[in-house]
Amino acid sequence: MAEPDEKAVLLLRNLKDAGCDTAMTEQFLAYEREGRSKDQRRLLFRQRNSLLQTVHKNQERIDCLDFLLHSVKQKIKSSRGEN
């Protein structure tokens, strides 16, 4: 089992890797000290939803790029006389 200091380091690394900023990390740790697990969970869900919104926004951008790529491909085929 990990030492207490090692657990703290792993927790901080995990929060950072999850995209939590300094303020969110400090809030999470404050909730930890206060034993407010439900608030920690709420905070993490808020971060998750934020990241998921970014994924959806980027998926829309990818879809637009795919449409444009398909259009250009069709234009190239037309200029070559291909169907």
Give Cβ neighbours of residue 51 (< 8 Å, ≥ 6 apart).
Answer: 18, 19
Phi/psi zone of residue 35: left (φ > 0), alpha (ψ -120 to 50 degrees), beta?
left
Provide the pLDDT confidence category of residue 2 given band limits of 50, 70 and 90. low
Q: What is residue 14's DSSP assignment?
A: H
Other Cβ atoms less than 10 A from the Cβ of 28: the count is 19
Residue 11: band (very low, low, confident or very high) from pLDDT cuts 50, 70, 90: very high
Enter the pTM of the model: 0.77
> Is there a contact between 19 and 51 (Cβ–Cβ < 8 Å)?
yes
